Amino acid sequence: MLFPGTHPRGKSILKMPSLVRFPVKYFIGRVFGVVGAVGDISLPLAMLVYGVLLSKMDVIDLLLISGGMLMILSLSFFLIYQKINQAHNISEGERLIVP
């Protein structure tokens, strides 16, 4: 069963365009290839890490800790993204490069 915004291999279609901000048109395929490879490698590693952590921790504690870490990481990446946009004077209409 697929979730909204994903395709059969599980990569989020909604996140992909945000990764292609500055590359030249002929590098876009390579960027998507690297993003896909990182996603394919990270899923089994995440299952391994969570399997080990679940054997040592309670489920609720692990969910609270990982959720808190996810919120902190999301906020920090958002702030970094805002600084990059301000440094390059990127407006709302110029965010994505369309091939």
Question: pLDDT digit string (tens) for 62-75?
Answer: 999 999 999 999 99
Question: Is 99 a domain residue?
Answer: no
Residue 40 neighbours by CB under 8 Å, 6+ apart:
9
Domain annotation covers residue 61: yes
Task: Identify the domain containing residue 49 by its residue range.
Answer: 16-94
For the chain, the domain total comes to 1
| pTM for the model | 0.52
The pLDDT value recorded for residue 81 is: 84
Residue type, 44: P
Q: Which two tokens stand for residue 96?
A: 């994505």
Phi, psi (5° rounding) for residue 13? Answer: -70, -30
pLDDT of 6 above 50: no
Residue 2 domain flag? no
Per the domain annotation, does 1 fall within a domain? no
Please check whether residue 31 lies inside any domain of the structure: yes
Query: What letter does residue 12 receive in the DSSP assignment?
Result: B
